Structure formats: structure tokens, C-alpha cells
């Protein structure tokens, strides 16, 4: 409500009808005045914006504000130089409204110009398109929706379509640019506080999950270098599936280009399961050592049985230092890529026969055969110790990649780091080079949830469906009752293959029987199965499928059928592949998968708590279908709880004097963690690449780049956003077109960035915050 000071006539300040503003009209706030003038502009057919504001020199309070037509003024010279081809939107319109604050804190209209002399007004159906009349995208509900959809990986164009189709207003559309502006605004507000944001997030995770673990590495100046985290479910999963782990650092899509390093395992459905994650400062040996030590500490000192990585020397040295008992395998895909790159050179040097001998050496069925082929190659092609460096290197590290050296180790059927690549592929479309660390952590949690939902779905399918038998043989029925759905399919592939195998006795020495197993159609390719009745394993095949994959091969099954064995020995059905692998039959002792855990009481107690929790889940599952069993379980638990409460009361009646322990925040060391000042330095990987492209993809990429034309410099091969031509600084007497064609007019640019010192690094874990 306002009134004219000149005539004393009361004038409504409501925006429902929005009559023409008059001098002397009063408003409670300047926002109310803005909304009034904006509604008037909508009815008249123009848009407005906020212009000049005057402050008090003493108190810095706002004294008056000016609202103008959105076509007021002219573009600045800088805008003309930076965007010379953009169409003009400002034409110097004089229409405006000025308001001034009074002593009673109300705002009075002190100036008003109505005429729009140098441009036409918009029609009623077009007036809503002016920027000042687009208000829905500024509402809190719309902003929250934009943020939620952006977290789900939707691009701004899709976000705008979803909002307009679901919650948009009639005649007012949310544009992709408005979504981009809000997302950019949120990110700008978080600049310099990203590390604090993820620490707060980790603290909230710890409050909800007592087993949540995280650690941050900082340098001597307090800047974050690396961060590692794993939740309680990942730590529990590792106790079940610690026999093989895949580690890869080839993905680095985030704002600081920190390499993404997930630890990936294989669950009982042969699905990938995440066992922790890190963002690393670089790919140096000491960084990997810090990460592996923190991961080992998180996993209660239990080393993995095997680990698959690429051939990075710094990573390999760190693995051998921190995991001395772990079998290390090089990624098959990376090795094949190196072989493809180097083999043509070797063939041209040593002749066409070298390729045949190379294949015989790489595919040897035994270590003795492999060493024999190598000696034969050295003699035939005169390969000396000081010869080809790459050839000598691959031979030196043959135990990490040649298959015959790896037949004694369980790898869950994996030969490459492809599982980590599949985890990385999940992030494509969700993150990019501008993704902040906090956003990346949230996306990792979505990947984690996605994986666990897939596992739960497979659990449901395995428990609520019944396997279809091919022959109905007791061995097949036994496997169908024990294995998960996916693993039974793998077993059935081997089981139905035994019918095509031919058995022939090679030798017999006491209770040791050697049998040759081959196909009826191809008797040149055969495997040897050794049967020893007194041995624990009884059957051992030269193909080593059971040792590496954990599934009995068709050769052993063929011999079992020939010997009329009607059931698989228990040790041939690995517990990690069974339906109840996650919940049942976990030992309470301090041995997990045959590896000793450090004799730390806290670690042992934690392992026992997980084991007891699994046993309780098992008991509840068994008793769930019977009311009598449920009552019996309830009585047992009630009795146990009452006895514990009695012991606690007795302890309270006879207290022992002990040193007081303070848990106040004042006694916890406080560490100020700052964001990294620059992007991480990696080992030459392209800035935006997430994986190595094939030759066809590279050729297609070159064709696409040739089609691109830059609107800034006019050259082919790139767009304006990636153009390296800089604009001249303001003050140079050059026209816009010359500024684009002659970038030599730029002032010198100092691109020097100081390198962070890696000395005096500190490791901060949850207890430090």
C-alpha cells in the first residue's frame, strides 16, 4: 500500500493490475518496488533489469536504486571485442523507475520515464520471454529439481525438458541455459571449499555407518593430495571376496584431474563389487604406497590373494612393497597392446619365423616348456642379454603375464582390468572435466548403490528360481543346489562338454593315475588329469581351470564320469561361488581365506562381530518360516541379553578406577585442508581421455575434427571453446576483426605454476577430524 505525497490520494501498490507507476508511490521494500515495475513491464510488453545503486558513504546502506528497460544503454567495447558477431540487444532506451529510501525505511518513487522511443514493445504472447519475466527457474523448488537431475547425470538440455514436461508453468519454459547458469553458480560458490565439503560428507557417512573409513593425505602447506574412502559394506565384502582384486588408475574425469583409483573385486555372482576408492595426487610410487597402506589398514591387514594391474613400474614397486604375499598379474589387454606395437619391429629384425616361436613361447602349457622355447629362441635368433630392451623386459617379468606361470593362482576367471573399466564407464555421462570433488564422491555412491542393487537382484533370482538340468546327473543336481545362478551356467558349460571328451590312460604308479583327456574330433590337443586317491585334491588337470577360475573343468568331469563318481567332493565347490557366500559359514577365528590377520585385538573383535552378525542372519533366516523356531530364537536372545545386563550391573556396583577418556572436539587434532591449487600431473595421458581408443575410433575422431570450424580464428579442427587464440587486452587500438586474426597483440601471459612440495606429508584419517 502506498500513497502520493503530492495529492494525498491513496494508490494501491498491488501487482495484480499494476497501473502505471506514479511519483510519490511508496513500497515497503525495494524488492516490492522491483516486482511492481516488472509486472507493469509485462503488461506493457518490455523487460527490465536492475541498474545503478547508490550507497551511504558512512554506513554503506543502500540509498536509492534504479530499474531500467532491458534495452537501456549500449554494449561495452570489451563485449564488442570478445563477441563481435553477437546481435545487439541494447539500443539506449531511456525508460526507467527510480526509488529512494525514506527515514521510515519505506521506498518512494522519485523518478519515472514511461516512453520507449527507439524500440518497439513486445506483443503479449512474446512479453513473457523477456529475462525478467522468467521467474520459475529462480524458485527454490525448481533449483532443487535441477540439482537432483544434474546429480543423476542428465545434461542441461534433458533437465529443461523434464522440468517443462512435469512441473513447468504454462507460457514459461525453463531453458537449458538457465539450468547451466544455476549449475555453474553452485559450483562457483563451492570454489576453495571442495575438500571441506567432502570431509563433512564423510563425517555424516561415519555417523550413519560406524564402519565407514576414510583417509586424506595433505602436504606440508595443508593442501589435499589424495583421498581414500570405503564404507562398512565394502569392508565386509572384502572379507568374503579378498582372493582377487583389480586396481586401475586410467580414469581421471574431475575438476582437478585427480586419477580415479577404484579397488574392484568379484562377488559370488561373478559381478564387479567395489572394495574402496581413491582420488590420487599423481601416479608416483610414494603415492601408491600411501594408498595401499591405507587400504590395507582399512581392510584389517588382510592382503589380497592376487591383484591385477597394468605394467606401471611405480605401481608395481608399491604393490611388492606393501603386499609382499600377493600374486601380481599384469593386465592381459595392456600386454597384448604392447605386443601388437612391438612385435612387427621384432619380426622385421629377426625374420618371419620369429612370430611363430613367439607364439609358442607365450602359449606354453608348462614352465619347463616355456623356458625351453626361450632358450631355443635365443639360440636361433642370436638374442643376447644386451639386445632388444623391450624383449628382455617382458622376459624378465614373465611371471606376471605368461599364462603357464599363473596357473597356480585363483583369479576368478579374470585376466585384465576390464572390471575397473566397467566401473569407469558408469561415470561417463555423470561426470566431466568440471565435476567437483564432492559431486564425484556422490556419483561414486550412486555407482555403489547401482552395483549392490544388481547383486540383490541376482540374489533374489538365485533364491527364487530353480536350475534346469541337462541330464539330471547327481553331480549336476548337486551343483545346481549350491551355485548361484550365473555360476551354475558356467559349470553347466563345462558339464555338457564332458560328453565330447575321450579318456585314455597314460600311466599308473601306485594310487596315482595319469589320464589323457581330449576331444573325439581333435586328439592332437589334450590335457592330462592326475588322480591320486590319497591326496586332498584327488583330481588335478593341466588346464588349471579349477585353480584359476574355481570351477571344475570338463576334463576332470569326464574322468569322474568314467570312474562312476556320483558327487563332487566339497572342496571342488568353492564357498565364494555359492548362494550363501555372503551370509553363511564365516569363521570366527583370526584366519580368513588362509591368511593370518594381524594380532590386533580391535581387528579381531571387528571380524568376530561381522561373523556373529552373519550367523545371526543365518539363524533368523532358518527360523523365519516357523513360529515355534522364532519363539525359541527369541527366548535364547532374551536370556543372553538378561545375563549380559546382570554382568553390567555387577560391574557398576564394583567400579574400577581408570583414567578418564575425553571425546570432546577440543582434544581432537584439527587440520585445515585446502583444495589443490592446480590439476594433478599424470603420466602423459590425454587430458579428456578416459580410455585408449582403437584405430577405427581415432580415424573417425580425425574426420570429425576436420569438420570443425572455429568461430574465433576461422581454422579447422576445433571449436571456439577449445581455441588457443587469445584476445588482446583492453586498451589496444584494434578493431574486433583484427583482434581475432592477429593474436600477437596479446600481452605476455605468465603460465608458470608452482609445484607443490611433497615433503613433510601428513596423513589424516577420520580420527583427526
* Nearest alpha carbon to residue 768 among 660, 629, 673, 637: 673
Q: How far apart are CA 717 and CA 706, in angstroms?
A: 5
What is the pLDDT, as a whole number, of residue 738?
29
Of the pLDDT bands very low, low, confident and very high (cuts 50, 70, 90), residue 674 is low
What is the pLDDT, as a whole number, of residue 222?
72
Among 167-171, 190-194, 552-556, the minimum mean pLDDT is found in 190-194
DSSP structure class, residue 269: T
- Of the chain, the percentage scoring pLDDT greater than 90 comes to 21
CB 250 within 8 A of CB 690: yes
Instruction: Tell me the average pLDDT of the chain.
Output: 76
Using a 10 angstrom Cβ sphere, with 0-12 exposed, 13-18 middle and 19 or more buried, the burial of residue 735 is exposed
Residue 693 has pLDDT above 50, yes or no: no
Query: Helices 437-464 and 418-427 meet at what angle, rounded to 10?
Result: 120
Strands 501-509, 213-218: pairing kind: unpaired
What is the pLDDT, as a whole number, of residue 483?
93
What is the pLDDT, as a whole number, of residue 750?
35
Q: How far apart are CA 251 and CA 257, in angstroms?
A: 9
Question: Residue 255 CB: number of other CB atoms within 10 A?
Answer: 20
CB 577 within 8 A of CB 484: yes
> Tens of pLDDT along 587-621?
433 333 333 344 445 444 555 565 666 567 667 76
| pLDDT: which is higher, 628 or 25 | 25
The residue count of the chain comes to 769
Q: How far apart are CA 675 and CA 258, in angstroms?
A: 12
The stretch 361-366 carries a mean pLDDT of 89
Cα separation values, 541 from 55, 198, 408, 412, 546, Å: 88, 51, 11, 17, 8
| pLDDT: which is higher, 176 or 169 | 176
Q: How far apart are CA 354 and CA 737, in angstroms?
A: 61
471: Cβ contacts below 8 Å, ≥ 6 apart: 495
The stretch 536-554 carries a mean pLDDT of 87
| pLDDT: which is higher, 500 or 188 | 500
Strands 2-3, 526-532: pairing kind: unpaired
Scanning 131-268, the segments in alpha helix (DSSP H) are 140-151, 156-166, 176-189, 194-208, 232-240
Among 91-95, 261-265, 308-312, 760-764, the minimum mean pLDDT is found in 760-764
Q: Which three cell numbers stand for residue 173?
A: 519454459
What is the pLDDT, as a whole number, of residue 611?
60
110 phi and psi angles, rounded to 5 deg: -115, -5
Q: Which three cell numbers stand for residue 558?
A: 569326464
The stretch 22-40 carries a mean pLDDT of 91
Residue 293 has pLDDT above 90, yes or no: yes
Look at residue 347 and give its three-state secondary structure.
helix
| pLDDT: which is higher, 710 or 547 | 547
Among 231-240, 353-362, 525-534, the minimum mean pLDDT is found in 525-534
Strand order in the sheet with 327-330: 327-330, 306-309, 245-247, 260-266, 272-279, 224-230, 213-218, 762-765
Q: Which of 211-220, 521-530, 583-592 has the highest mean pLDDT?
A: 211-220
What is the pLDDT, as a whole number, of residue 570?
86
CB 681 within 8 A of CB 282: yes
Q: How far apart are CA 707 and CA 344, in angstroms?
A: 33
Residue 18 has pLDDT above 50, yes or no: yes
Using a 10 angstrom Cβ sphere, with 0-12 exposed, 13-18 middle and 19 or more buried, the burial of residue 558 is buried
What is the pLDDT, as a whole number, of residue 761?
41
Among 9-18, 347-356, 477-486, 589-598, the minimum mean pLDDT is found in 589-598
| pLDDT: which is higher, 764 or 350 | 350
| pLDDT: which is higher, 163 or 419 | 163
Question: Residue 395 CB: number of other CB atoms within 10 A?
Answer: 15
Q: Which of 64-78, 82-96, 431-445, 631-645 has the highest mean pLDDT?
A: 64-78
Q: How far apart are CA 726 and CA 745, in angstroms?
A: 9
Of the pLDDT bands very low, low, confident and very high (cuts 50, 70, 90), residue 740 is very low
> Tens of pLDDT along 239-271?
889 899 999 887 655 455 678 888 999 999 998
Among 75-84, 220-229, 322-331, the minimum mean pLDDT is found in 75-84
What kind and span of H or E run contains 296? Answer: helix 285-298
What is the pLDDT, as a whole number, of residue 334?
86
Scanning 382-525, the segments in alpha helix (DSSP H) are 389-396, 418-427, 437-464, 474-482, 485-495
748 phi and psi angles, rounded to 5 deg: -60, 140
Cα separation values, 282 from 179, 424, 442, 512, 606, Å: 33, 18, 22, 54, 33
Q: Which of 51-60, 141-150, 506-515, 727-736 has the highest mean pLDDT?
A: 51-60
What is the pLDDT, as a whole number, of residue 386?
65
> Tens of pLDDT along 472-502?
889 999 999 999 999 999 999 988 877 667 7
CB 667 within 8 A of CB 742: no
DSSP structure class, residue 717: S
Of the pLDDT bands very low, low, confident and very high (cuts 50, 70, 90), residue 695 is very low
Q: Which of 260-274, 438-452, 517-531, 692-706 has the highest mean pLDDT?
A: 260-274
Among 186-200, 355-369, 675-689, the minimum mean pLDDT is found in 675-689
The stretch 430-451 carries a mean pLDDT of 73
Of the pLDDT bands very low, low, confident and very high (cuts 50, 70, 90), residue 533 is confident
Among 21-30, 150-159, 551-560, the minimum mean pLDDT is found in 150-159
> Tens of pLDDT along 115-134?
998 899 988 888 887 888 87
Residue 696 has pLDDT above 80, yes or no: no
CB 258 within 8 A of CB 680: yes
Of the pLDDT bands very low, low, confident and very high (cuts 50, 70, 90), residue 86 is confident
CB 456 within 8 A of CB 237: no
Of the pLDDT bands very low, low, confident and very high (cuts 50, 70, 90), residue 701 is low
The stretch 277-295 carries a mean pLDDT of 90
Q: How many Å separate Cα 209 from the centre of its chain? A: 20
Of the pLDDT bands very low, low, confident and very high (cuts 50, 70, 90), residue 694 is very low
* Nearest alpha carbon to residue 269 among 489, 492, 584: 489
Residue 745 has pLDDT above 50, yes or no: no
The conformational region for residue 351 under phi > 0 = left, psi -120 to 50 = alpha, else beta, is left
Q: Which of 313-317, 434-438, 450-454, 595-599 has the highest mean pLDDT?
A: 313-317
What is the pLDDT, as a whole number, of residue 321?
93
What kind and span of H or E run contains 126? Answer: helix 124-127
Q: Concatenate the DSSP letters of all residues of 632-655 into one string.
A: HHHHHHHHHHHHHHHHHHHHHHS-
CB 268 within 8 A of CB 576: yes
722 phi and psi angles, rounded to 5 deg: -110, 10
CB 754 within 8 A of CB 98: no
The stretch 7-16 carries a mean pLDDT of 40
| pLDDT: which is higher, 636 or 721 | 636
Strands 327-330, 306-309: pairing kind: parallel
Q: How far apart are CA 38 and CA 33, in angstroms?
A: 8
Q: How far apart are CA 565 and CA 305, in angstroms?
A: 32
| pLDDT: which is higher, 13 or 489 | 489
What is the pLDDT, as a whole number, of residue 20?
86
What is the pLDDT, as a whole number, of residue 671?
46
683 phi and psi angles, rounded to 5 deg: -90, 55
Reported pTM: 0.63
> Tens of pLDDT along 313-339?
899 999 999 999 999 999 888 888 889
What is the pLDDT, as a whole number, of residue 113?
93
Amino acid at each position: 500500500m502506498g500513497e502520493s505525497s503530492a495529492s494525498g490520494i491513496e494508490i494501491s501498490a498491488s501487482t495484480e493490475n499494476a497501473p502505471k507507476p506514479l511519483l510519490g508511490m511508496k513500497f515497503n521494500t525495494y524488492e516490492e518496488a522491483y516486482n511492481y515495475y516488472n509486472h507493469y513491464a509485462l503488461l506493457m510488453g518490455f523487460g527490465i533489469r536492475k541498474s545503478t545503486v547508490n550507497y551511504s558513504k558512512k554506513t554503506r546502506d543502500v540509498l536509492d536504486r534504479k530499474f531500467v528497460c532491458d534495452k537501456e544503454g549500449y554494449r561495452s567495447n570489451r563485449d564488442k571485442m570478445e563477441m563481435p558477431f553477437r546481435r545487439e540487444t541494447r539500443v539506449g532506451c531511456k525508460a526507467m523507475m527510480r526509488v529512494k529510501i525514506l527515514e521510515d525505511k519505506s521506498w518512494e518513487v522519485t523518478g519515472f520515464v514511461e516512453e520507449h522511443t527507439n524500440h518497439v514493445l513486445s506483443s503479449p504472447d512474446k512479453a513473457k520471454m523477456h529475462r525478467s519475466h522468467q521467474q520459475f527457474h529462480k524458485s527454490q523448488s525448481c533449483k532443487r529439481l535441477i540439482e537432483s537431475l544434474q546429480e543423476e547425470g542428465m545434461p542441461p538440455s534433458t533437465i529443461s525438458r523434464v522440468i517443462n514436461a512435469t512441473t513447468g508453468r504454462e507460457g514459461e519454459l525453463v531453458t537449458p541455459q538457465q539450468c547451466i547458469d544455476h549449475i555453474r553458480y553452485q559450483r562457483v560458490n563451492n570454489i576453495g571449499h571442495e575438500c571441506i565439503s567432502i570431509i563433512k560428507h564423510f563425517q555424516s557417512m561415519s555417523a550413519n555407518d560406524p564402519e565407514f573409513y576414510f583417509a586424506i593425505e595433505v602436504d606440508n602447506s595443508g593442501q589435499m593430495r589424495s583421498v581414500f574412502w570405503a564404507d562398512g559394506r565394502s569392508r565386509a565384502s572384502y572379507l568374503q571376496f579378498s582372493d582377487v582384486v583389480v586396481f586401475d588408475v586410467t580414469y581421471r574425469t574431475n575438476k582437478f584431474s585427480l586419477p580415479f583409483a577404484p579397488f574392484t573385486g568379484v562377488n559370488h555372482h561373478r559381478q564387479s563389487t567395489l572394495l574402496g576408492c581413491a582420488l590420487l595426487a599423481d601416479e608416483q610410487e610414494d603415492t601408491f604406497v600411501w594408498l595401499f597402506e591405507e587400504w590395507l589398514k582399512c581392510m584389517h591387514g588382510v592382503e589380497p590373494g592376487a591383484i591385477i594391474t597394468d605394467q606401471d613400474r611405480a605401481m608395481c614397486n608399491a604393490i611388492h612393497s606393501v603386499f609382499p604375499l600377493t600374486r601380481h598379474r599384469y593386465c592381459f589387454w595392456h600386454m597384448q597392446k604392447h605386443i601388437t606395437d612391438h612385435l612387427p619391429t621384432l619380426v622385421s629384425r629377426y625374420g618371419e619365423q620369429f612370430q611363430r616361436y613367439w607364439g609358442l613361447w607365450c602359449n606354453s602349457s608348462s614352465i619347463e616348456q616355456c623356458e625351453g622355447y626361450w632358450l631355443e629362441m635365443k639360440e636361433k635368433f642370436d638374442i643376447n642379454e644386451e639386445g632388444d630392451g623391450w624383449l628382455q623386459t617382458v622376459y624378465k617379468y614373465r611371471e606376471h603375464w605368461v599364462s603357464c606361470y599363473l596357473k597356480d593362482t585363483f583369479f576368478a576367471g579374470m585376466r585384465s582390468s576390464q572390471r575397473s573399466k566397467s566401473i569407469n564407464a558408469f561415470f561417463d555421462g555423470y561426470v566431466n572435466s568440471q565435476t567437483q570433488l564432492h559431486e564425484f564422491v556422490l556419483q561414486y555412491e550412486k555407482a555403489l548403490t547401482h552395483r549392490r542393487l544388481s547383486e540383490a537382484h541376482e540374489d533374489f533370482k538365485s533364491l527364487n528360481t530353480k536350475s534346469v538340468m541337462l541330464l539330471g546327473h547327481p553331480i549336476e543336481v548337486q551343483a545346481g543346489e549350491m551355485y548361484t545362478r550365473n555360476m551354475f551356467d558356467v559349470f553347466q558349460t563345462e558339464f555338457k562338454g564332458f560328453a565330447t571328451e575321450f579318456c585314455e590312460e597314460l600311466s599308473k604308479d601306485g594310487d596315482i593315475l595319469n589320464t589323457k583327456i581330449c576331444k573325439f574330433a581333435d586328439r592332437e590337443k589334450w590335457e592330462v588329469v592326475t588322480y591320486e586317491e590319497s591326496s586332498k585334491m584327488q583330481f588335478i588337470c593341466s588346464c588349471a581351470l579349477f585353480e584359476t577360475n574355481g570351477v571344475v573343468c570338463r576334463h576332470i568331469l569326464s574322468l569322474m564320469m568314467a570312474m562312476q563318481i556320483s558327487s563332487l567332493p566339497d572342496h571342488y565347490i568353492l564357498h565364494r561361488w555359492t548362494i550363501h557366500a555372503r551370509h553363511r559359514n564365516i569363521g570366527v577365528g583370526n584366519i580368513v581365506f588362509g591368511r593370518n590377520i594381524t594380532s590386533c585385538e580391535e581387528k579381531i573383535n571387528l571380524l568376530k562381530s561381522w561373523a556373529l552378525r552373519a550367523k545371526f542372519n543365518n539363524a533368523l533366516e532358518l527360523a523365519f518360516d516357523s513360529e515355534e523356531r522364532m519363539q525359541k530364537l527369541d527366548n535364547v536372545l532374551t536370556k543372553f541379553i538378561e545375563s549380559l545386563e546382570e554382568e553390567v550391573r555387577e560391574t557398576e556396583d564394583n567400579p574400577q578406577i581408570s583414567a578418564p577418556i575425553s571425546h570432546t572436539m577440543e582434544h581432537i587434532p584439527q587440520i585445515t585442508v585446502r583444495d589443490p591449487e592446480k590439476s594433478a600431473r599424470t603420466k602423459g595421458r590425454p587430458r579428456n581421455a578416459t580410455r585408449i581408443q582403437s584405430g577405427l575410433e581415432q580415424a573417425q575422431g580425425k574426420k570429425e575434427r576436420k569438420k570443425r570450424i572455429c568461430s574465433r580464428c576461422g581454422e579447422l579442427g576445433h571449436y571456439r571453446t577449445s581455441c588457443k587464440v587469445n584476445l588482446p587486452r583492453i586498451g589496444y587500438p584494434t578493431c574486433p576483426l583484427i583482434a581475432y586474426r592477429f593474436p600477437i597483440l596479446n600481452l605476455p601471459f605468465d603460465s608458470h605454476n608452482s609445484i607443490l612440495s611433497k615433503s613433510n606429508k601428513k596423513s589424516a584419517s577420520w580420527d583427526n577430524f
